[in-house]
Every structure is written in C-alpha cells, then in structure tokens.
Structure 1
Amino acid sequence: MTAHTPDAASVPWAEQRASHADRDAVVRRLQQAAAEGRLDFHELDERLEQALTAKTFGALAALTADLRGADGEAGEPVPGRPPVLKGGMHGIVRTGRWKVPPRLTAYGGMGGVVLDLTRVESPPRVLDFEVHGQMAGVTVVIPDDWSAETDGVEPGLGGVKDRTTPDRSPDAPLVRLTGTGGMAGIVVRHPKARERRRLEREGRALAAR
C-alpha cells in the first residue's frame, strides 16, 4: 500500500512542519524576552526545551504568543506564518516589482486591498490567498496568462467577480482564493487598458536600457 503524502497547500499552517531555522528563530526571541524581563529563568529554560523539540509551526507559535515585545509588531514574524495585509481605514495597494509569497491573507477593512501581481518577481507556481472583502473589498490583478480559482470564497453580500479568461499558459501560475466576500466582495481580473499601457511603457523602458 502506498503512503499518502499530504499536499502542502491543504495542510493548515499550524500543522506544517518546522525547520531547524524556524526553531532557532524562536529560541532567539525567547532569549530576548528573558533579557527584557518578560520571562524568568525557569520559564526560559522550560520554553527553550519545548522550542528545540517542537515539530510544527503551531507548537512554536504557542511559545511566543504572550510575548508581544518579542513576537509582535516590533519583532520578527512567526516562522512560516503567511503575511497578513489589513486595509484598515486608508487601504493597501501592493503593486510594482515585489516578491509575492506563496500564501497570504488580506482583509479589505474600510479602505480596501489591491494586490497587483502583474510585475511580481519569480512567482510560485501556485499562490494561495485567503481574502476577506469586509467593507471595502479585495481586488487581485493577475497577468493575462495566469488563471484563478474562486470556488473557495463564500460570496457574502458583495459576491465574487472572476473576470479572468481561461487562456492560461501551461507553465503560468495559478492563484487560488479562499475566504469571504463580505459587504464589498472580491474581484480577480486581468489588467485594464490603462494598466496595460503602463506595463507596455515600462517594458519598453527596460528594453532600452
């Protein structure tokens, strides 16, 4: 009987296997927390032992969950945890040349989130985005030869609008969306005419260098 190997994309983040580097990063944060007086010697010793033997990201995250100074906004992110983008009041637009992670979570909030993937660098073959439209929505812009799957999104009141074409190149990336539409909904589309003209200008400028 052949053993079944789980698809990494289907395994929850907390259950994914941690590496030596992930464990070392948590050890450093625990030591920093002790130096700041957040942990006493006994607590540090106990947590260090657990960190060095932890198997999953979830086990590591539990060791620093109450250490906001070492594992919060002022410190390093939890190893392996997908980045979270929150639109808040003013919104977030990720565009231009940027390194897109294989997984991320986006909350539209009151200002909305736009993820423009038309110029990302070395994209993964499969990108798993958890998106929540909330009040202002989330828009994902993908190149013409990429494709998207939106079956995993609960429409909510705002719905899900997939305006992409099925003309996907065999080797091009796939964007898989899960989450909730919320009040404003989720949109995934290819570039509009104005965006195409900008991309063409940038392409010509790069070719002329």
Structure 2
Amino acid sequence: MISLPEDQPRRISEGERDAGVRRLQEAYAEGHLSHEEMDGLLQQALTAATHGQLARALASLPAEDAGTTSAIGAVSGRILRRGVWRVPRVLKVESALGRVQLDLSRAVFEHPVVDIELHLGTGRAKITVPRDAVVDIEGLRAGWKDTLYRPRRGAGSGGPTIRISGAMGMGRLKVRHARR
C-alpha cells in the first residue's frame, strides 16, 4: 500500500525545533532536569524531524505556561500598536470597519510562539514582524483579497514563531519583516 502525503507525519520547522530546545533549557535552568537528562533530551530534540519526535523529547517536562491572552477591539477607527510593548502569548484583534497596524519589530517577546487571531470585517491590516521571525499564516481565511506575505530568505534563526489565524472579510492582510 502506498502512503499518501496526508498520512505522512508533518515535519517540524527550525523555529519549532528551536522553541523545543529553549523549553528544555528553561526546564534545566529551573531544576526540572538533571544534566544527563538534559543531554539526552537535547539530542532527541535536535535530531527530531516530526512533531511526534519532538513531543516525545518534551513529554517529561512540566506543562508549559500558556501565558496571557489579550484582546484589542474596535468597531471603527484604527488599532495601532508600535514601539516597545509586551506581546502576550495570544493576541486577539477584532475590528468591524477599521484599520489594524501591529508593529512587532521592537516588541518584547516572552514566549517563543505567539498566536495572533485576527477577526476583521473590512479594512486593512498590516503586521510588521521581527527580522528573524518565522511566520505561519496557514490558519487565516481571507474572504475578499489574498494575504500579502513573502517569507524572508534565511528567516527563522532564533526569532519568535508568529502564527496568524482567524478570518478577514473584505480587507487585506500585509505581513512584512522589519528591515533591521
């Protein structure tokens, strides 16, 4: 029997592997792992190719702190976040008629993975991400116009993973990497 692509385990990205390694390092620093355990699990995480393999390497760790969830909403007008600001683990953005501009280039990331849930009726959204960020827009549904995003060459070297999901009605999302 030939296995179909859907039957294949999904491969992990370098950003997901790096996030797993950071989790192991944090657990070691907090005293949850011995030096020997850290060495073995780190080897498993670094050689993991699929989500299942990475999950097995992280299975003995305490539950990850889910972090905070914050919501920003407006019926109309403009939602703007820029400069130095703390990015929560989950950021929900809702706007019926306005524009959304999130500049994450100078933001403080306390979590290796950040989920941004967009729920926009009409209007544009622009998200500027750090230069080394990994961006995943697979969970976003666009009703009217396609999302504009071109991944950076060489992106994903130690930066946060930003997963953008939700739904856009008649607007367009533009995601770009910061220049510096």
Name the TM tier (shorter chain): 0.5 to 0.7
> Which is higher, the Rg of structure 1 or of structure 2?
1
Equivalent pairs counted in the alignment come to: 114
Output the TM-score relative to the length of structure 2: 0.57
Cα shift at 1:149 = 0.5
Q: Is the 8 A contact 2:76 2:95 kept in 1?
A: no
Kindly report structure 1 stretches of 4+ aligned residues shifted beyond 6 Å: none
Output the TM-score relative to the length of structure 1: 0.49
Counterpart of 2:77 in structure 1 is: 90
Cα shift at 1:183 = 0.4
Q: 3-state SS of the aligned residue for 1:152? A: strand
Opposite residue 147 of structure 2, the aligned amino acid is V
Structure 1: runs of 5 or more not aligned: 1-79, 200-209
Counterpart of 1:180 in structure 2 is: 167
Q: Is the 8 A contact 1:102 1:124 kept in 2?
A: yes
Cα shift at 1:81 = 6.4
Q: Does 1:158 align with 2:158?
A: no
After superposition, what is the alpha-carbon deviation per residue over 1:24-58, rounded to whole angstroms, capped at 9, x for unaligned? xxxxxxxxxxxxxxxxxxxxxxxxxxxxxxxxxxx
Higher percent of residues as helix = 1
Counterpart of 2:57 in structure 1 is: none
Cα shift at 1:166 = 4.1
Counterpart of 1:101 in structure 2 is: 88
Q: Does 1:130 align with 2:79?
A: no
Counterpart of 1:116 in structure 2 is: 103
Higher percent of residues as strand = 2
Seq. identity, %: 28
After superposition, what is the alpha-carbon deviation per residue over 1:37-88, rounded to whole angstroms, capped at 9, x for unaligned? xxxxxxxxxxxxxxxxxxxxxxxxxxxxxxxxxxxxxxxxxxx762111243
Structure 2: runs of 5 or more not aligned: 1-66
What's the Cα RMSD here?
2.0
Shift in CA distance, 151/166, structure 1 to aligned 2, threshold 3 Å: farther
Opposite residue 88 of structure 2, the aligned amino acid is P
Distance in structure 2 (CA, Å) of the matches to 1:105 and 1:179 = 9
